[in-house]
């Protein structure tokens, strides 16, 4: 079973949760998610830093990343995550619904 960290803009949080479920149930992948809070919470800078550190650690632990690029959109943070994963020699898979 391969482990992937799901990466994408938080504007696609609902889509990423649905995709994580589908990838685990249909493909047998182990998905490490980055979507946690259902409420409209605005994290502090410190919380954002902790979440980013945790996210990169998940990439370290994964076989690769699964990039959710709805309508072809990839933001700056996700571009950095892709570069980080590639630098580590991780597999980069893309989901595109356009």
Q: What is the CATH number of the domain that holds 56?
A: 3.40.50
The reported pLDDT for the residue numbered 96 is 80
CB contact at 8 A, 30 and 2: yes
The reported pLDDT for the residue numbered 85 is 98
Q: Is the dihedral of CA 8, 23, 30, 90 positive or negative?
A: negative
First to last CA, the chain: 28
As beta bridge partners, residue 31 has 4
The reported pLDDT for the residue numbered 89 is 98
As beta bridge partners, residue 67 has 7, 94
Alpha-carbon span 83 to 92, nearest angstrom: 10
The reported pLDDT for the residue numbered 10 is 85
The series of mean pLDDT values per 10 residues for the chain, 98 residues long, is 93 89 95 78 88 95 95 93 98 85
Domain extent at residue 71: 3-37+44-95
Total of domains in the chain: 1
């Amino acid at each position: 079973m391969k482990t992937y960290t799901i990466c994408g803009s938080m504007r696609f949080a609902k889509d990423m949760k649905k995709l994580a479920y589908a990838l685990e149930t249909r493909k047998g992948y182990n998905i490490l998610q980055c979507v946690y809070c259902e409420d409209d919470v605005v994290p502090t800078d410190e919380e954002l830093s902790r979440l980013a550190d945790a996210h990169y650690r998940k990439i370290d632990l994964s076989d690769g990343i699964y990039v959710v690029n709805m309508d072809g959109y990839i933001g700056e943070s996700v571009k950095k995550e892709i570069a980080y994963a590639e630098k580590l020699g991780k597999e980069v898979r893309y989901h595109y619904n356009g």
